[in-house]
Structure 1
Amino acid sequence: MSKYNVLVVDDDADIREAIEIYLRSEEITVLKAENGLEALKTLEEKEVHLMILDIMMPKLDGIQATFKIRESSNIPILMLSAKTEDTDKIVGLNVGADDYMTKPFNPLELIARVKSQLRRYTNLGTYAASTDELQVRGLVLNKKAKTVTVDGEQVKVTPTEYKILELLMEHKGRVFSIDEIYEKVWGDPAFHPENTVAVHVRRIREKIEINPKEPKYLKVVWGIGYKMEK
């Protein structure tokens, strides 16, 4: 039985079939969708460990689909496009893609990049929904033991600080507004929660950052909120 499910999203049936043949040779299960809307529906119904996503598609293109996916998921996204301009690559990576290939592509290179992303996803903590640990480089949160360590050293955090870290680490790279953090962590409607959240974030930084004024883990996105750096 395959360990991984890869979702291939392309409006060209021949490309979908070709990629399926390549990946099945590596004992990877392939799910397929014709456009971004079908991809989002598949993500809701199936467990997906990586997505190969074409940019130019009808109904919902790859850029728009990536925006939607990154609202709730950190699965690796490998973008495909017939275009070769650097601007397409930059846009794709900026909206949240992890890698980029242009068509036509070398099947061996595609397989190598897919396997590399899957290893990173499962070994470095982003595949955390079904594991007991969340990890961002030296920062590790153990959901079973309810502990937080930095470079192997345990740090003491309050339950609220723990919940904030857990929320941000489960969605690395996603920016949460102050209202979102308050409502998800405190469980109450947000009513001017700026100071409350800011105080907790400052305390967390003092515990996990070498230099809280130049954080490498918990970053502020000015005018929007906070995120855990990938």
Structure 2
Amino acid sequence: MKKVLLIEDDLDIAELERDYLQLNGYHTEIVQDGAAGLKRATSGQFDIVVVDLMLPQVSGYDIIREIRKQQEIPVIVVSAKNEDIDKIRGLDLGADDYLTKPFSPAEFMARIKSHLKRYERLKGSAVGQEVILHKGLEINTGSRQVFVNGKEVQLTTKEYEILFFLASHPSIVFTKERLMEAIWGNEYYGDTSTIAVHIYKVRKKIEADPVNPVYIETIWGTGYRFIP
């Protein structure tokens, strides 16, 4: 049984999330303050963490940062903070997804299932190495390392998956919806602005000038492509 940690100080929301998770067969634990949440989240006992940003004692941002120092499990932010800057900050620290309150329980469950399935596929994938080389960019699929001009770049799981997917299909233009389906899975639906935020973050890390990219190009009104 998959184990889900909910770090949420609003008990009504936490219990709603727990009820839906338990109905779908997930073992669920609720923690209502950031300090206890951080301790549980880094215990290595959970398959996925759902975290609010505004928490007593320790913020959700700090929890995400500490999780990413130790683990690559999926982390989903559920927050009332709906500004782009909040989403960018949460995703930049390593969160895999961002869901804004109020939210649909059906969408919440779809995202949980999608991220867990994706994580299981990644863990079970073959270790065989392949290297993609392009204009100073090196993607090692075996070690999941990315280098730009010989210097390693640290990408989150979703950042790596987006970059690898696009680089594996050079010249092909993908809509945001198609990228969501490819990276998050068929069960995912929701705010496609998540893709734009992740692309923004990848460009910041691999492009010398993110405003004039040489790797990932925006096709206005359509989507994105890896520049051949």
TM-score (norm. length: structure 1): 0.60
Contact 1:7 1:31 (C-alpha < 8 Å) held by counterparts: yes
Q: Determine the structure 2 residue equivalent to 1:197.
A: none
Residue 32 of structure 1 and its aligned partner are, at CA, apart by 1.4
1:213 aligned to which of 132, 136, 144 = 136
Q: Secondary structure at the residue paired with 2:94?
A: coil
Contact 1:221 1:227 in 2 (8 A): no
Q: Quick one: distance in 1 between partners of 2:46 and 2:9?
A: 19
Distance, in Å, in 2 between the alignment partners of 1:44 and 1:113 is 21
Counterpart contact for 2:138–2:148, Cα < 8 Å: no
What is residue 174 of structure 1 aligned with on the other side? none
Pick aligned residue for 2:65 from 59, 67, 82:
67
Q: For 1:93-131, what per-residue CA distance to the aligned partner results, in whole angstroms no more than 9, with x for missing partners? A: 111110111111110000001000010011122xxxxxx
Asked if the contact 2:42/2:66 (under 8 Å) is kept, the reply is no
- Whole-Å separation in 1 of the counterparts to 2:153 and 2:84: 29
Whether the 8 Å contact between 2:42 and 2:70 is mirrored in structure 1 is: no
What SS does the corresponding residue of 2:70 show, helix, strand or coil? Answer: coil
Q: Percent identity?
A: 33
Aligned to 1:149: 129
Per the TM alignment, residue 47 of structure 1 is displaced from its structure 2 partner at its CA by 1.6
- Give yes or no for contact 2:137–2:147 (8 Å, CA) kept in 1: no
Q: Distance in 1 between matches of 2:44 and 2:22?
A: 18
Tell me: CA distance 1:77–1:44, structure 2 relative to 1, closer, same or farther (3 Å): closer
Task: Give the CA deviation at 1:45.
Answer: 4.0
* 1:182-225 per-position Cα deviation (integer Å, ceiling 9, x unaligned): xxxxxxxxxxxxxxxxxxxxxxxxxx344483212332489x95
Tell me what 2:53 maps to: 55
For structure 2, the residue ranges without an aligned partner over 5 or more in a row are 162-228
d(CA) in 1 for partners of 2:61 and 2:104?
A: 23
Counterpart in the other structure of 1:27: 25
- 2:10 is the counterpart of 1:12: yes
- d(CA) in 2 for partners of 1:76 and 1:14? 23
Give 2:214's aligned residue.
none
Report the structure number with the largest CA radius of gyration.
Answer: 1
Residue aligning to 1:119: 117
SS at match of 1:79: strand
Distance 1:225 1:100, change over 3 A: same
Number of aligned residue pairs: 153
Structure 1: tracts of 5 or more residues without a match: 126-132, 142-147, 151-207
Tell me the SS of whatever aligns to 1:114: helix
Deviation at 1:33, TM superposition (A): 1.0
Say if 1:226 and 1:117 are closer, same or farther in 2 by CA, change over 3 A.
same
Q: Does the aligned pair in 2 maintain the 1:78–1:97 contact within 8 Å?
A: yes
Among 80, 83, 106, the alignment partner of 1:82 is: 80
SS at match of 1:149: coil
Aligned residue for 2:57, secondary structure, equals coil
Q: Which amino acid aligns with 2:66?
A: K
CA deviation after TM superposition for structure 1 residue 71, in Å: 0.4
Q: How far apart are the structure 2 equivalents of 1:227 and 1:88? A: 21
RMSD, matched Cα: 2.4
Shift in Å, 1:35: 2.4
Give the TM-score normalised by the residue count of structure 2. Answer: 0.60
Aligned match of 2:194:
none
